Structure 1
Amino acid sequence: MIALNAAAETSHHLEPLISDLGLILMTAGIAVLLFKKMKQPLVLGYLIAGFLAGNHFDFFPSVTDMKSVEVWAEIGVIFLLFSLGLEFSFKKLMKVGGTSSITAITQILFMVVIGYFIGQWMGWGKMDSIFLGATLSISSTTIIIRAFDELGVKGKKFVGIVFGALIVEDIVAILMMVLLATVAVSDQVSGAALLQSVLKLVFFLIIWFLGGIFIIPTILKKAKHLLTDEMLLIISLALCLMMVMFAANVGFSPALGAFIMGSIIAETTQAEKIEHLIQPVKDLFGAVFFVSVGMLINPETLVTYALPVAIITLVTIFGKAFSSATGALLSGQPLRQSVQTGMSLAQIGEFSFIIATLGMSLKVTSDFLYPIIVAVSAITTFTTPFLIKYSDPFSQYLEEKLPKKWVKNINRYSLNAQAIKSVSTWQKVLNTYIIQIVLNTIIIAAIILLSSKFVAPLVADTRFGNTLAALITLVIIAPFLWALSLRRVAVEEVELLWEERKYRGALLMMILIRMSLGLFFIGFLLNIFFSPLVAFVALIIAIVAYQIFPKKLNEQYHKIENHFLKNFNDRENKKIDRRYANLMPWDGHMSIFEIGKESNLAGKTLQELRIREQLGINIAYIRRGEVTIPIPTKTERLFPGDEICVIGTDAQVTEFTKYLNQNETETAKSVEESQIVLRQLEVADEEFIQKSIGQFRTKTNGMVVGIERNGNRILNPESHLVLEQNDIIWVVGDKKRMNELMKKA
């Protein structure tokens, strides 16, 4: 009886949860189908589905328990940010050029300020105005990528600037969420509180990132042979939620923890697989999140605030287009690319919803702000494809209508700015010293703080406990203390500067600062466990020990550093590992066929056979007895007994086999070790940048059978296609020549 009552009670609590989730997914599914049919962004469909399933629309069934929906939505934000982190990667941020950084920061600062003043002008409260500026400053990665795909503009120059700006905006949005939470809690804009929050965020970001890269890829590699897809998915979600808990415990948003863990996993060799496995989870909870956003749309509120919606929409479109274009111009881009960049970034999206959600959860923003932001996002989602499409004609129109003197000055400034690329020797030394000091200082401080919090209380009442705890901590931080205070960095540059007398004082000062920091941390640690007098004596002993064992400390530090760098670069190294060149994005591989004695193909030229045009197959070489003809031209003929090595996908090779069998040709053989090889190269050598594929073939005698650019993959590219920096190409050619090209790449 008790069991039946318990079951009935459970069913009573479960029923609204299940029915509400079913309603959300049903409306979302219908919306997805309709908007896919209409070729509109799915996010917009989710918003409308939420509006229909919400309590403000009476013609459809409505959810009964909004609290459970809010829980689903919070989980949706976590997985949405985790997925964004998987696509983000700190390495991408490091590779973002000055152009994208200046563009993004100019746009963000302008929109935060203009948004705040627009809110104040409309009579809104201070917090509403601050959150308005923040939501208007972040563009939508999802909407922009979809628009680029639909318009087929991914190969254009301005697209790289836009993607770089979006990366910078993502990290700034995370920082902004922390700062907004600080402002909301203190209810005032305190410079000291903001600085403390920024320093705290930087401290934890670096610790989490360094620790995560050092540990997580190692675990995944060690357990690789044990991990099934199911286990990898579970472990990934567990790591995500673990970091969510860490972030919440130190006072940050759970979404921040999810984003950080995603960016850590993005550096592992399993990143693509995890991203693929996590996609259904992200889609499910992401749909719930966007539908829950739509549920908060109140038609009465939108009618009441129709004028603010119109004003904010216009400010968003024109303000973001103007500020982004200005930022691109300031960074040295030509007028055309700057205008295209600005008009591409003129919308708001997922991060704006998350920031607006933060304001609601902290109860510092008014009820009208959220639906207004959703409405502005919906409108700018529609306008974005048109703005991108007409950005090129509009830039040409501007070039014609602006005063010739202005256009000439802009072009001159662009040429001069792009010519200033060199970094002085002093800047290199200064950057290296700063990185060395900051990273090692944070690592040492984190280890000491952990020791004082968890180790010191355990040994407080034991006789030699303090000595043992201090010794263990010193041993752990010893390599980092040595690197902070004594390790030589940028050796060649420092020697060059030392020859110039004016730099010697600055160099000596930096060395003194590093050694002083090392002494400070040793003293700080010893003071935790001992009295000042004992700490001073121990300090002298520790300094002597560090002087006696520099070689050992050097070896230990380099071992730690090399392990970190190996984990950090594993994904990239695997991506360009030439041994796996047969694992092309389109599953291309090499197969060998023999032309039979009675084959109908014998005696015909490759131009007459049109094999590539008909079947998409490339011929890597023809072997005729002892003679090998690499990368045969279209005038080359096939003869009985020839062995031909072809490249194609599984499906293409299957079709080619049928084609050859119809012409009485021998079946395929496995590829032997040959002097003609298929290699994957990254275009980095200036000799090939901005050269056509035809020119590349002339210079290298290598045939380009595939190219990947900005995530877009092309099989059998045309010979007139121009190569750009960071393109990944698949080339067939002489083994020795390909190896030489690999060294340059």
Structure 2
Amino acid sequence: MHSSAVFLIEFGAIILGLGLLGRLAGRFQFSPIPLYLLAGLAFGEGGLLPMGASEEFVAIGAEIGVILLLLMLGLEYTASDLVSNLKTQYPAGLVDAALNALPGAAMALLLGWGPVAAVILAGVTWISSSGVIAKVLGDLGRLGNRETPVVLSILVLEDLSMAVYLPIITALLAGTGLAAGSVTLAVALGAAGLVLVLAARYGRHISRLVSSDDPEKLLLVVLGLTLLVAGLAQQLQVSAAVGAFLVGIALSGEVAEGAHNLLAPLRDLFAAVFFVFFGLHTDPSSIPPVILPALALALVTAGTKIATGYWAARRAGISAKGRWRAGGTLVARGEFSIVIAGLAVTSGIEPSLGPLATAYVLILVVLGPLTARYTEPLATRLTAARRGRQPAPAPAGTEDAPEPAAGGPRT
């Protein structure tokens, strides 16, 4: 009875604290992710007030948080959307992976962490935060801008790549051999391909089977199906997150919209628990030794993300100002960087990887909204100053003229 009371007190305090932190972040219009990570650091081992009784429950909640994050991500896209993006935007995806994954891999090798940690840290630095970026685009009134579809296409390609990347690192962390790892990857790719084909051809029929006019029944069926598929995927050593992502893709139309509305509060709750759980497993005293590598990595990969967005927007025929806006918007890292690092922390391959990832995400989740807002004005001023020093500047063309917003406001 006493332990049950302690559990309720601890877990209730965590949820209440997360709610207050979320309100504080909303008041100042920035992502609550860094506050959730700091809360985890405060309540974890070596923190101000370590907790014990509710840690096991928090661990389960954190796993559900990852599953719901990927499910909701899958609900945002249809199979046709993904296929279309692959066909038209894959060069931008390849440039994105090369420019942003390689610095993370190089840093891990320079620190002497080995090839497996290099693959993990490459993923941490590669994937932008879809949640933070979507919020920033809405806050800045850029959802209708011409460069926004380019940004969203890159995010879609990153999200889709998770279906391939997560099984790879799962096999690496499990220590399986080349043959077993190849089988795991083949199963993951086969499952992803099969789901895409089924969703494209029979998505309406699948959604009709799941559909219900009763919100309670719809919630139970979608959540139960997601957890079941995620568990089966985990049993096959594919990744529970990939299974949830594929379930989201398979659902479409009114079912996807209804499930999204019903599951959004649950996702926010368990995602917040996940960030706290990650912080719980990071000793605050382990962060100062890696703060300089994390800062250097953050600055380098902020630059490479800006270059990625600029190149992709230029390829799409966007003006110079739109290119800079696209690049600055992509800088933020967040939930998926922590998901990837969390797998490494759980496996215990490198004790310093978790602290470095925490510091890295804290830096970029704060810096990201700033680069989204100020990269374009700063680049414009620097370009104007450089042209002003030239004796005979070239006449202004239409390339740098503000482009009209496509279906929405722009700043």
Structures share fold, TM-score greater than 0.5? yes
**Please, what TM-score do these two structures have when normalized by structure 2?**
0.86
Cα RMSD of the aligned pairs, angstroms, is 3.3
Q: CA deviation at 1:118?
A: 1.9
Is the aligned partner of 1:392 residue 2:376?
A: yes
CA contact (8 A) 2:334 2:361 kept: yes
Select the structure that is richer in strand: 1
Matched, 1:57 2:47: yes
| Structure 2 Cα separation of the partners of residues 97 and 211 of structure 1 | 17
Contact 2:80 2:200 in 1 (8 A): no
Matched, 1:229 2:221: no
Inter-partner Cα distance in structure 2 for 1:193 and 1:322 = 37
Q: Which residue of 2 aligns with 1:505?
A: none
CA distance in 2, matches of 1:390, 1:193: 48
**Structure-1 separation of matches of 2:321 and 2:88:** 14
Normalized per residue, which structure has more helix?
A: 2
For the structure 1 residues 143 and 170, does the alpha-carbon distance in structure 2 shift closer, same or farther, using more than 3 Å as the test? same
Shift of 1:114: 2.1
Of 239, 244, 247, which residue of structure 2 is paired with 1:253? Answer: 239
Q: Which of 268, 280, 301 pairs up with 1:283?
A: 268
Whether the aligned pair in 2 keeps the contact of 1:80 and 1:282 (CA below 8 Å) is yes
By how many angstroms is 1:105 displaced? 2.2
Q: More relative contact order in 1 or in 2 (CA 8 Å, sep 6+)?
A: 2
How do residues 306-385 of structure 1 correspond to structure 2 at under 5 angstroms?
306-329=291-314, 333-364=318-349, 366-385=350-369
Show the counterpart of 1:29: 19
User: Unpaired segments of 5 or more residues in structure 1?
Assistant: 1-10, 415-689, 693-707, 715-720, 722-745
Residue 155 of structure 2 corresponds to 166
Deviations 1:464-491 (A, max 9, x none): xxxxxxxxxxxxxxxxxxxxxxxxxxxx
Deviations along 1:275-296, one digit per CA (max 9) or x if unpaired, are 1111122122112112212323
Q: TM-score normalized by structure 1?
A: 0.49
Secondary structure of the 1:124 match is: coil
Deviation of the 1:196 alpha carbon: 4.9
Q: Does the 8 Å CA contact 1:353/1:373 hold for their aligned counterparts? A: yes
Distance, in Å, in 2 between the alignment partners of 1:221 and 1:199 is 30
On the 8 A contact 1:27/1:53 being kept in 2, the answer is no
**1:200 is paired with a residue of what secondary structure?**
helix
CA change 1:34–1:397 in 2 (3 A) is closer
Distance (Å, rounded) in 1 between the aligned partners of 2:175 and 2:45? 34
Q: How does 1:468-483 map to 2 (within 5 A)?
A: none
1:302 CA displacement: 1.2
Counterparts of 2:25 and 2:210, CA distance in 1 = 42
Query: Match of 1:32, as an amino acid?
Result: G
Are 2:221 and 1:202 aligned? no
Is the alpha carbon distance of 1:298 and 1:197 closer, same or farther for their aligned partners in structure 2, counting shifts above 3 Å?
same
Contact 1:103 1:325 in 2 (8 A): no
Query: 2: CA distance between counterparts of 1:196 and 1:62?
Result: 40
Match of 1:176, SS state, is: helix
Equivalent-residue separation in structure 1 for 2:106 and 2:209 (angstroms): 54
Tell me which structure has the larger Cα radius of gyration. Answer: 1
Query: 1:81: Cα distance to partner?
Result: 1.3
CA offset digits 1:49-77 (Å, max 9, x no partner):
2233323322x463434333212211111
Q: Which amino acid aligns with 1:234?
A: L
Unaligned segments of structure 2, at least 5 residues? none
Letter in 2 for 1:154: L
CA deviation digits over 1:168-215, x for unaligned, max 9?
110112311111223333477x5x776655443221112234446666
1:139-538 map, 5 Å: 139-186=128-175, 196-211=183-198, 217-218=204-205, 220-221=207-208, 227-265=213-251, 267-329=252-314, 333-364=318-349, 366-397=350-381, 399-400=383-384, 401=386
Q: Which residue of 1 aligns with 2:30?
A: 40
Question: Which residue type is aligned with residue 263 of structure 1?
Answer: I
1:31/1:48 contact within 8 Å kept:
no
Q: Structure 1 pair 358/88, CA: closer, same or farther in 2 (3 Å)?
A: farther
Residue 109, structure 1, aligned to residue 95, structure 2: no
Q: 1:179 to 1:220 in 2, by over 3 A?
A: closer
Q: 1:88 to 1:214 in 2, by over 3 A?
A: closer
The alpha carbon displacement at 1:232 in A equals 0.8
Shift of 1:21: 2.2
Q: Within 2, Cα distance between the matches of 1:141 and 1:339?
A: 18
Q: Secondary structure at the match of 2:128?
A: coil
- In structure 2, relative to structure 1, the CA distance for the partners of 1:223 and 1:70 (3 Å cut) is closer
Report the CA distance between 1:120 and its aligned residue: 1.6
- Shift >6 Å, 4+ stretches: 213-216
